[in-house]
Amino acid sequence: MRISFIGSGNVAHHLAHYLSKSNEVIQICSRSLENAQILANKVNAKAISEITSLEEVDLLIIAVNDDQIETLSKAIELKNSIIVHTSGTKSIDLLKGHKAYGLLYPLQTFTKDRVVDFAQIPVFVEGSNQDVLSSLSKIAEINFPNVHHIDFEQRQKLHVGAVMVNNFVNHLIAQTDQFLEQNAMDMAYLKPLIQETIAKIDGFKAKDIQTGPAIRRDQQTINRHLDLIEDNSMKSIYEVMTKCIQEFTS
Amino acid sequence: MRISFIGSGNVAHHLAHYLSKSNEVIQICSRSLENAQILANKVNAKAISEITSLEEVDLLIIAVNDDQIETLSKAIELKNSIIVHTSGTKSIDLLKGHKAYGLLYPLQTFTKDRVVDFAQIPVFVEGSNQDVLSSLSKIAEINFPNVHHIDFEQRQKLHVGAVMVNNFVNHLIAQTDQFLEQNAMDMAYLKPLIQETIAKIDGFKAKDIQTGPAIRRDQQTINRHLDLIEDNSMKSIYEVMTKCIQEFTS
């Protein structure tokens, strides 16, 4: 299959790299020709910086920041390519005007220099009509083992979940890291605990294994903890999470 | 070494099981003789339900709920055993009156029917005086590869961190699980994301890899997400975490 990319960030990087193994990646288009070239070299494609230089392909993947999708889409002149974006939050209607468009959304957090195992990642597709959905599903299923259809409403809700378990979990760790650092301790002390916390979700419902002072309603420990936290943001997190744990289980 | 336990809950269970491999576990004491017997059978010890039946040992480990430690300690009549509790939050002064007392705090979340790898777990010790600390450290270091001294103030702060990355992370997952369930979706969609979120902490500082609508200050997506969340607890979590991510990085 012939696939091109608009974008050279993390999502484009990981998708292009993975898809290049069993497809032909034709062009990498990025405002920065230099960035396009770095990725193009890795996947044996041609780097371009002008959207008007795009060639017809089987699949054109727009993997850019959400707020650039619509403008880029309007500049694309291809007639016979299926065009998709990869956003968790944006409607495929941003691609309106093209003959065949849709979504290819790999639900994962991508970081440069970290290998991603696409065999584990759910990939969600949506199509501008039933034919496009059917074509896109076929393309996706050839390339990814874990493909699902999803409508826009559901995808947005799924993205809320992704924000909860990725962005917010990461922030809890960032806050804790800073708190330990300020108190001359090392995050290494907590890593086995974090890992076990997550390992458990394979065998248990999280609500069934909640522990700690909040669910025990151990107000003495809660008050002591709030005394020990100087940072106001961290204090507000502690208060809200404690309240919600108690409401969730009452 | 001769070791006995007061308590037959998760901590007692995991510690007794682990320590029985290279020590002699003498007695398991629990209010419920039946529970004591279940654990005693596993570690080849004697079950008792009366604290006055405790024999002298090298180490007596009190692994019970925080609020029972002091009462139990006062009922113990041993003269030559080192007595420790295993709490992340309570002072060793609860054990005052004994000749040699202290702390043996394995920092992990223990669940029945899940094997725990003590090689990874940091174990913190504290002693009622320098001699006791030295004896306890020796005992701990023979049995655990990852032993640290910690004072009460530091231990309480570390426990705040444990609450953040275990209790609160688990609650984020519980809330998300419920939210997806209410919207006819499955937590399985998010598991690879959760795993990658945590896997990253080995190579990156959490604050350096924060992503999402909050840090992008993408108010349109934030508002849409808040519209999609009906539950008031979950909404308050979303609002506070978003605010804190923005404050943390500004």
pLDDT band at A112 (very low <50, low <70, confident <90, very high): confident
- Of all residues in chain A, the percent with pLDDT exceeding 90 is 94
Asked if pLDDT for residue A134 goes beyond 90, the answer is: yes
How far is residue B210's CA from residue A230's CA, in Å, rounded to a whole number? 22
Residue A84: phi and psi, rounded to 5, are: -130, 155
| Interval A100-108 mean pLDDT | 97
Residues 6+ apart with CB under 8 A from A234: A175, A179, B164, B244
Asked if the Cβ–Cβ distance from A154 to B185 is below 8 Å, we say yes
Please give the residue of chain A at the shortest CA–CA distance from B240: A237
How far is residue B9's CA from residue A240's CA, in Å, rounded to a whole number? 29
Query: What's the pLDDT at B116?
Result: 87
* CB contacts, 8 Å: B225 with chain A: 156, 159-160, 163
| Whether B221 contacts B213, CB under 8 Å | yes
Query: What's the pLDDT at B250?
Result: 52
* CB contacts, 8 Å: A189 with chain B: 107, 122, 148, 158, 161
- Single pTM value for the model: 0.93
Asked if the Cβ–Cβ distance from A241 to B168 is below 8 Å, we say yes
Measure the CA dihedral B104/B109/B111/B117, to 10°: -70
Asked if the Cβ–Cβ distance from B211 to A174 is below 8 Å, we say no
| Interval B64-81 mean pLDDT | 96
Choose the closest CB to B166 out of A183, A212, A236. Answer: A212
| Interval B88-103 mean pLDDT | 97
- CA–CA distances in Å: residue B221 to residues A60, B213, B217: 25, 6, 9
pLDDT band at B115 (very low <50, low <70, confident <90, very high): confident
Query: What's the pLDDT at A115?
Result: 86
| Interval A232-246 mean pLDDT | 98
Shortest CA gap B232–chain A (Å): 9
Length of chain A equals: 250
Asked if pLDDT for residue A156 goes beyond 70, the answer is: yes
Asked if the Cβ–Cβ distance from A89 to B213 is below 8 Å, we say yes
Count of pairs with CB atoms under 8 A, one residue in A, one in B? 297
- Tokens 């288009």 correspond to A29
- 3-state DSSP call for residue A245? helix
How far is residue A89's CA from residue A42's CA, in Å, rounded to a whole number? 29
Tokens describing residue B223:
């508002």
pLDDT band at A113 (very low <50, low <70, confident <90, very high): confident
Shortest CA gap B174–chain A (Å): 5
Instruction: Tell which wins on pLDDT, A192 or A114.
Output: A192
* CB contacts, 8 Å: B158 with chain A: 180, 185, 189-190
Query: What's the pLDDT at B187?
Result: 94
How far is residue A126's CA from residue A148's CA, in Å, rounded to a whole number? 9
Choose the closest CB to A163 out of B120, B121, B213. Answer: B213
Report the candidate in A94, A90, A123 with the shortest Cα–Cα distance to residue B221: A90
Query: What's the pLDDT at A49?
Result: 97
How far is residue A8's CA from residue A14's CA, in Å, rounded to a whole number? 10
* Cβ-based neighbour number of residue B207 at 10 Å: 17
Query: What's the pLDDT at A250?
Result: 52
Asked if the Cβ–Cβ distance from A244 to B215 is below 8 Å, we say no
- Tokens 């054109």 correspond to A60
Query: What's the pLDDT at A249?
Result: 66
| Interval A153-158 mean pLDDT | 97
User: How confident is the model over A219-236, as pLDDT tens digits?
Assistant: 999 999 999 999 999 999
Query: What's the pLDDT at B114?
Result: 84
How far is residue B169's CA from residue A166's CA, in Å, rounded to a whole number? 10
Task: Supply the DSSP string of B49-98, one letter for each residue.
Answer: S-GGGPPP-SEEEE-S-GGGHHHHHHH---SSSEEEE--SSS-GGGGBTB
- 3-state DSSP call for residue B120? coil
Query: What's the pLDDT at B111?
Result: 83
Shortest CA gap A219–chain B (Å): 12
Shortest CA gap B56–chain A (Å): 32
Length of chain B equals: 250
| Interval A56-68 mean pLDDT | 96
* Cβ-based neighbour number of residue B138 at 10 Å: 12
How buried is A219 (Cβ within 10 angstroms: 0-12 exposed, 13-18 middle, 19+ buried)? exposed
Please give the residue of chain A at the shortest CA–CA distance from B170: A206
Please give the residue of chain A at the shortest CA–CA distance from B223: A160
Substitution target from A154, A176, A238 for chain B, most B beta carbons within 10 A: A176
- Tokens 């279940």 correspond to B38
How far is residue B124's CA from residue B148's CA, in Å, rounded to a whole number? 5
